[in-house]
Amino acid sequence: MMLFAEHWNAEAFGYSLLAAAVFGLLGIALLALGFKVFEWITPKLHVEEELGKGNVAVGVMVAAVILGVSLIVVRAIGG
């Protein structure tokens, strides 16, 4: 059992930083795609218009959709 991390390696740190950036961008792209799919399957709901009117229910629903898609993306990327 290891109690401490292995010795710091600049090359491994660079690869880890690159992987975090790539997976972060991939996650953001998939989240945006998931939200666009949600907008596509609900053509009668105009989110921006309803939020402009102050419709809190639409805001809560959009937040739930974003959280749900985020959880799916995390599990898909993270394994």
Three-state DSSP string of the chain: CCCCCCCCCHHHHHHHHHHHHHHHHHHHHHHHHHHHHHHHHCCCCCHHHHHHCCCHHHHHHHHHHHHHHHHHHHHHHHC
pTM of the model: 0.75
Contact assessment for residue 29 and residue 68, using Cβ atoms and an 8 Å cutoff: no
Q: Rounded distance, CA 38 to CA 66, Å? A: 10
User: pLDDT digits over 2-40, tens only?
Assistant: 556 667 778 888 888 999 899 999 999 999 999 999 999
